[in-house]
Structure 1
Amino acid sequence: MPVLATARSRAGATLLGAVTAATLVAAAPAAAQPAPADSVLTWYDTTAAAIATGGAATQVTNNRTWAIAWLAGARAQTGTHSAVGQRAALAGAVHQTLITLIPGQQAAADATLATELAALPDRRQVRDGVAAGRAAAQRLIAERTGDGLDPASVNAPFTVPAAAPGVWQPTPPLFPAATQYGNRVARPFVLRSASQFRPVAPPALGSPRYEADLAEVRAYGSAASTLRTQAQTDTATFWLGSSLTLYTPILRAAVAQSPASIADRTRLIALFHVASVDTQIATSDAKYAYQRWRPVTAIQAGGDTSWLPLHTTPAHPDYPSGHNTYSGAAEGVLTGLTGPHARQPYTIGSPSAPGVTRTYTDWHQPSVENVDARVWSGIHTRNADLAGIRLGSDVARYVLSHAQPLLR
């Protein structure tokens, strides 16, 4: 099954590149100039630090901040053919977004802005660019007001249904209340509806696929597993943390390696996070439409009452896997806009595996590892993981094919 999934993902990635590359090249200014890496990366790092230090407790809210900041920058750069003008527009947009949405990080944002402006000529083009970026950010923040992606709305209360075979219930050891229920009614950036790419229903209870998936998790995802290798445990632990945290350095590597203009790289960051937001909305729609129980609930209900997963199960339904919808969307955007392979190997770390790094040469291998990791953690069935990859890929493809009106 992993081999089949790999082949399908690569085929989808190839199609995505063919469909979207021409679209975005056509949208780019004809006279765009090569960009110095440091200006885009400076604002990238400032955004990442502001969110890591003062961001929201809900991941999708932080993806929303990224999306607003960089989409505003992309809109402000429209029609600006010089690298200086693009750089000024980006500075105004990201700075305005950060001081508005994460006001506790204003000092750091102000310092970055001062450094950037000191490196630019003091002329009207720069002042106009900064003003355009600020205005674009203010308009977009106003447009997104009330979109349902604030933490309270994201974690709207969910009434747990009566216990029944296959139906999600709070999971051990703490049996916490459900999270991310409100995502399903949040307003997407691009999707027509949260259910637009809802996957088909998970395998029926008792079906061969269902039984095989559950047996795999029981054997390899148990805290007491004697079959899971150390390498498998390491993979599960490495990919345990927040998808946003894990993918921030992956996207940074793509941006750092790109020879494209400031405007093109701004669009890459914007569309990555737009797709991430819309994917998380679509994920919650599917999770709460199907309300499929987690492996720990199924295994314990089957009589193995002492079974526990390697890692604590998140507080929302199994199908599809949110880690893998995020991974599918990320791979789709990166492949569509930069090609399937990195220009050079890149290395990332993980907050759940301090001191450990992994090195990759493409955008696909992290998806492969994410699929396996959630099974080996004991918190998802493989079918939920593969459905997640497909859902994220579908959303990414749709976002990129509808990028032109979004960027104007």
Structure 2
Amino acid sequence: MDKLNRAALPAMLCLACAWAPPATAAVAVTDDPVLYWNQLMLDTVPGSGAIRTYAMMNIAMYDSINATLGYRNAPYLGGVANSGGIGGVAAVQAAHDILASTNPGAIAQYDAALGASLAQFADGAGKTNGIATGQAYAAAMLVNRANDGAFASVAYTPSGLPGGYALTPPGFGAPLFPQWGDVTPFLVNSPEQFRAPPPPELTSVAYADALNEVKEIGSVDSVTRTADQTAAAKFWSTANGATYMRLGLEITADEGLSTFENARLFALLGTGIADTLITLWDTKYHYDLWRPVTAIQNADLDGNALTDADADWQSLIAAPAHPSYVSAHSALGAMVTGILLDNIDDQAFCSTIGANTRCWSSLDAISVDGSSSRLWGGIHFGFDRDAGLAMGAQIAAWEVSRATFNAVPEPATWQLMMIGAGLIGWTLRRRGKAIADVRA
């Protein structure tokens, strides 16, 4: 399997560290309502619950604004009665109602934000009708997702077989979200539509190469991992789906898009992130692959003469409690990058997670860095990364090519290219502008 150019990538990221765009200021209630309510959602909805809510809220805002404009673009939910009105009013009312329903513990905060948001608009028929439109679309969205399987109880027990997922140290926590692969997607046809192809067989040379690679570079005491790679692993170690939502908000907050353009972009990001995680969890529990820490400590059981067990091996960062294949960071990074580059110009960017700040010279560099950080941290194989990047690219291309959220139904503009097992590239529609491939 082809590997990332280990000389070129750290150089690219070190170059990125020289770029230092100003930090994005907090979005105020007087700013664009789509941006303000997305920030409020990210600040108040727990990370594990944010994914579904993010998609629902942004669809409801988009459909509400679109309705007040006479359905300029294709809606997500058709046939919802509405009273027209001011688009911004409809958006904030829809956002409020979705958040209040899905996260009632913060309803007082949402009520206060609604009052402050609506105060930005003059009283009158436009305001009254906008409120009614937002209420109608929020209610329709809540009905639409009422039985989507997000809260289903699904039993999962590790198989105990070689190659099968096993609970990982240090916490040995129960596997997370086994039901998520059965959740009804938002725009993709089914959780299986973009399921990754099988990982390498345990007895293959490709598997042995991948195991030996992560064994060397991902161990807690690795002598080959660079300081920048260690910093990347630690920077991304606490990231989750909500992190990618926040990155999308930080990157677009100063783009000067209209409220309708923001609503369309965030509806795409919301559905894309949700559909990517649904596809991911379908893939993860379908193949049920063990994490590197389990694979390395038990390499004497894999039937591969090219691997050696190390019972004391530990990864730099702790593995999340779910199967290894494929990497969520890889798929989410590629998907978000694809949708952003379909709507805005490429750019250098910095972001902070906790006490750590990291900078990149391009949006593509964000996805490459995030995906490779999981290998450097010792919690993913290289093929987890590569398959995740491919999955995210496919889903991004699919989402932006749908009739939903677009003015005119377009033919699918996505394609996946793999040369050997390592080159991933895609081309996305981007208002006449070429988009650079992401490769891993």
Given residue 72 of structure 1, which amino acid in structure 2 is its aligned partner?
A
* Aligned pair partner of 1:290 in 287, 292, 298: 287
- 1:158-307, aligned counterparts within 5 Å? 158-164=156-162, 166-302=163-299, 303-307=309-313
Distance 1:190 1:174 in 2: 36
Structure 1 pair 238–126 and aligned structure 2 pair: CA distance change class (3 A): same
Give, in angstroms, the shift of residue 369 of structure 1: 0.6
Q: Which moved more, 1:258-267 or 1:168-177?
A: 168-177
Distance 1:290 1:116 in 2: 47
Give, in angstroms, the shift of residue 361 of structure 1: 4.5
Distance 1:306 1:385 in 2: 25
Report whether the alignment pairs 1:374 with 2:371. no
More helix by share: 1
Report whether the alignment pairs 1:350 with 2:353. yes
Matched position secondary structure for 1:289: helix
Matched position secondary structure for 1:113: helix
Give, in angstroms, the shift of residue 403 of structure 1: 4.5
Give, in angstroms, the shift of residue 129 of structure 1: 1.0
Aligned to 1:101: 102
Give, in angstroms, the shift of residue 208 of structure 1: 2.5
What percentage of residue pairs aligned between the two structures are identical?
30
Structure 1 pair 308–2 and aligned structure 2 pair: CA distance change class (3 A): same
Aligned to 2:61: 73
Matched position secondary structure for 1:338: coil
Matched position secondary structure for 2:161: coil
Distance 1:405 1:39 in 2: 18
Give, in angstroms, the shift of residue 95 of structure 1: 0.8
Aligned to 1:92: 93
Structure 1 pair 331–240 and aligned structure 2 pair: CA distance change class (3 A): same
1:114-167 deviation per Cα after TM superposition (whole angstroms, max 9, x unaligned): 1122121111111111211111011101110021123xx3x7320211322x22
Matched position secondary structure for 1:69: helix
User: Normalized against structure 2, the TM-score is what?
Assistant: 0.77
Partners of 1:371 and 1:382 within 8 A in 2? no
Aligned to 1:41: 35
1:35-78 deviation per Cα after TM superposition (whole angstroms, max 9, x unaligned): x8443332222222221xxx3x62xx311111111100111112
Given residue 350 of structure 1, which amino acid in structure 2 is its aligned partner?
I
Q: Which moved more, 1:256-265 or 1:65-74?
A: 256-265
Unaligned runs of 5+ in 2: 10-29, 71-83, 300-308, 409-440
Given residue 314 of structure 1, which amino acid in structure 2 is its aligned partner?
P
Partners of 1:168 and 1:317 within 8 A in 2? yes
Distance 2:40 2:221 in 1: 42
Partners of 2:42 and 2:246 within 8 A in 1? no
- 1:13-162, aligned counterparts within 5 Å? 37-51=31-45, 55=46, 58=48, 61-81=49-69, 85-150=86-151, 153=152, 156-162=154-160
Distance 1:256 1:173 in 2: 38
Partners of 1:239 and 1:370 within 8 A in 2? yes
Aligned to 2:392: 392
Partners of 2:244 and 2:332 within 8 A in 1? no
Give, in angstroms, the shift of residue 278 of structure 1: 0.9
Aligned to 1:311: 317
Aligned to 2:326: 320
Structure 1 pair 141–79 and aligned structure 2 pair: CA distance change class (3 A): closer
Distance 1:322 1:197 in 2: 14
Distance 2:366 2:204 in 1: 30
Distance 1:220 1:180 in 2: 29
Structure 1 pair 407–190 and aligned structure 2 pair: CA distance change class (3 A): farther
Distance 2:247 2:164 in 1: 35
User: Normalized against structure 1, the TM-score is what?
Assistant: 0.83
Distance 2:361 2:203 in 1: 40
Give, in angstroms, the shift of residue 348 of structure 1: 1.2
**What is the RMSD computed on CA atoms of the aligned residues?**
2.5
Matched position secondary structure for 1:337: coil
Give, in angstroms, the shift of residue 264 of structure 1: 1.2
Matched position secondary structure for 2:149: coil
Give, in angstroms, the shift of residue 338 of structure 1: 2.0
Distance 1:329 1:403 in 2: 18
Given residue 48 of structure 1, which amino acid in structure 2 is its aligned partner?
L
1:287-327 deviation per Cα after TM superposition (whole angstroms, max 9, x unaligned): 11111111111111122100011111111111111121111
Matched position secondary structure for 1:237: helix
Distance 2:98 2:407 in 1: 17
1:210-252 deviation per Cα after TM superposition (whole angstroms, max 9, x unaligned): 1221111111111121222222111100011132343233211
Partners of 1:332 and 1:393 within 8 A in 2? yes
Aligned to 1:2: 4
Give, in angstroms, the shift of residue 275 of structure 1: 0.8
Q: Which moved more, 1:223-232 or 1:281-290?
A: 223-232
Q: Which moved more, 1:38-47 or 1:301-310?
A: 38-47
Distance 1:402 1:145 in 2: 24
Matched position secondary structure for 1:41: helix
Give, in angstroms, the shift of residue 101 of structure 1: 1.0
Give, in angstroms, the shift of residue 254 of structure 1: 3.3
